[in-house]
A and B are shown apart, each in its own frame.
Chain A
Amino acid sequence: MATDTMAAPVTVTGPKIKSELMQQRVRAARWFLLPMLIALAVVAGWPLLRSIWFSFTDASLNNLYGAEWIGFGNYLRWTVLESGTVRYRGVLADPGWWNAVWNTVRFAFWSVLWETVLGMIVALVLNAEFKGRGLVRAAILIPWAIPTIVSARMWSWMLNDQFGILNDLGLRLGLLSQKVAWTASADTAMQAVLVVDIWKTTPFMALLILAGLQMIPKDIYEAAEIDGVHPIKQFFKITLPLVRPALMVAIIFRVLDALRIFDLIYVLTPNSDATKTMSVLSQENLFQFDNFAEGSTQATLLFLIIAIFTIVYIWLGKVNFDGGDR
Chain B
Amino acid sequence: MASIELRNIRKAFGAVEVIKGVDLEVRKGEFMVFVGPSGCGKSTLLRLISGLEDITSGEMLFDGKVVNALAPSKRGIAMVFQSYALYPHMTVYENMAFGLTLEKGNSKDEIRKRVERAADMLQIRQYLDRLPKQLSGGQRQRVAIGRAITRDPKVFLFDEPLSNLDAALRVATRIEIAKLHEEMDNVTMIYVTHDQVEAMTLADRICVLRDGLVEQVGTPMELYENPNSTFVAGFIGSPKMNFISGDKAAPFNADTVGIRGEHITIVPSGGTWSGKVIHTENLGADSYVYLEMGTEEPVVVRLDGQNNYKSGDTVEISPMADKVHRFDAAGKPIR
Contacts and interface: CB of A to CB of B under 8 A. Distances in A.
Interface of B: 50, 52, 71-74, 77-79, 81, 83-89, 98-99, 102-103, 133-137, 147, 151, 164
Nearest to A3: B137
Given A6-B136, A7-B134, A222-B52, A227 B85 contact: no
A226 B52 contact: yes
Interface in A48-76: none
B85 A217 contact: yes
Contacts of B71: 225, 228
Given A225-B72, A226-B77, A242 B102 contact: no
12 contacts: A6-B135, A219-B81, A220-B88, A223-B81, A227-B151, A228-B74, A228-B103, A229-B98, A229-B99, A230-B102, A325-B88, A326-B88
B88 A223 contact: no
B59 to A, nearest CB: 21
A233 B73 CA distance: 14
B30 to A, nearest CB: 21
Contacts of A1: 83-84
A238 interface: yes
**Chain A: interface size category:** 20 to 34
Contacts of A229: 73, 98-99, 102
A6 B79 CA distance: 25
A325 B87 CA distance: 11
A219 B82 CA distance: 9
Given A223-B87, A226-B50, A229-B99, 20 more contacts: A1-B84, A2-B164, A7-B134, A219-B83, A219-B85, A220-B85, A222-B52, A222-B81, A223-B85, A223-B147, A225-B72, A226-B52, A227-B102, A228-B71, A228-B74, A228-B99, A229-B73, A229-B98, A230-B102, A325-B89
Nearest first, the 5 A-B pairs at minimum CB distance are: A228-B73, A227-B99, A219-B85, A223-B85, A4-B137
A222 B148 CA distance: 13
A322 to B, nearest CB: 13
